[in-house]
Amino acid sequence: MIRALSTAATGMEAQQTRLDVTANNIANTSTAGFKKSRAEFSDLMYQTQRAPGAATGDGTQAPTGLQVGMGVRTAATQRMHSQGNLRQTGNPLDVAIEGRGFYPIELPSGEVAYTRDGAFKLDAEGQLVTSEGYVLSGDISIPPDAQNVTVGADGTVSVTVPGETAVVEAGQIQLAGFPNESGLETIGRNLYRETTASGAAVVGPPGENGTGQLAQGTLESSNVNVVEEMIDLISGQRAYEINSRVIKAADEMLAQTATLK
């Protein structure tokens, strides 16, 4: 009973973690390019009271063992990089990635971060920048008098300039692919950082190295499925409740034992 008390407590703790992760997913339902996470659990060690194959005393062997587990622990939280829905915005500088890949972004510190959020803006120098003003890596400069910015599926940015009939090419957007996207580190503001677990970025034009193509005038919504999260919320809450019932049952049983004498 004492063991059941702490076992059920680990169960409650695990469901709490699950709820925290679900809460963050739901909070970011409308964050462009957000990727949902999930908590992963594993069982704790077992106390072996009798090992299978142990001698039973009358010359036979016990075919099964007696093992009592000690509960659960949170093993990891993992991000899921499935594609989010694409939403038409009509804004020429909203560029979504259809498929794998990340935009390389230069941070003010000189470091390179990566994002799936393709809601770009123009800065004073004609560069494409994120909402925070961080510059998209690559040689893209859009002339100040440019009209009709077009981003091709392969990342080519072309503009028309008044007085000229020919289309002027203003650069090409590059995408970074990773061997293991789930290994990227979240640093907030829709940005990810390369880690040893993600592997080194492979930067190239969209559509190469397994990366996806670009879709102008669209934004990638988060890949959070609210219905799924709600179900997680419900089952997490119920599981939490039932774990607390175990504690109650163990407590009542202890109380009955204590009142024997």
Partner 1 sequence: MGSGIYISTSGAVAQDTALDVTANNISNASTAGYKTQRVSFGQAMANTRSPDAAFTGVKEMKGDAAAGALRQTDNPLDLALLGDGYFAVNTPAGVRYTRAGDFRLDPQGRLINGAGLVARGVGGSEIRVPPETVGLSVGKDGQVMAGEESIGQLELARFAPDAMVREGDNLYAAVGGARPLSGAPTEVVSGAVEQSNVNLVRGMVDLVKISRTYESLMRMIKGYSDIESAAARGIGRPR
Within positions 127 to 186, which residues make up the interface with partner 1, using CB under 8 A? 177-180, 182-183
Q: Minimum CB separation from partner 1 for residue 167, in Å? A: 31
Query: Rounded to whole angstroms, what are the CA distances from 154 to 16, 97, 204, 245?
Result: 44, 10, 10, 57
What is the total count of residues that contact partner 1 (CB under 8 A)? 74
- For residue 175, give the nearest of 136, 145, 146 by alpha carbon: 136
Determine if 64 is a binding residue for partner 1 (CB under 8 A). Answer: yes
Q: Minimum CB separation from partner 1 for residue 218, in Å? A: 20
Determine if 69 is a binding residue for partner 1 (CB under 8 A). Answer: yes
Binding residue for partner 1, selected from 16, 31, 41, 207, defined by CB under 8 A = 41
Within 8 A by CB and 6+ apart from 166, the residues are none
- The H or E element containing residue 41 is strand 37-43
Which one, 87 or 245, has the nearer CB to partner 1?
245
Q: What is the per-residue binding string for partner 1 in 207-226, x denoting contact by CB under 8 A? A: --xxx---------------
Q: 44-55 in b/e burial notation, b at 16+ Cβ within 10 A? A: eeeeeeeeeeee
- For residue 124, give the nearest of 107, 142, 137 by alpha carbon: 142
Which one, 153 or 167, has the nearer CB to partner 1?
153
| Binding segment toward partner 1, per CB under 8 A, in 25-33, 88-96, 164-172, 235-243 | 235-243
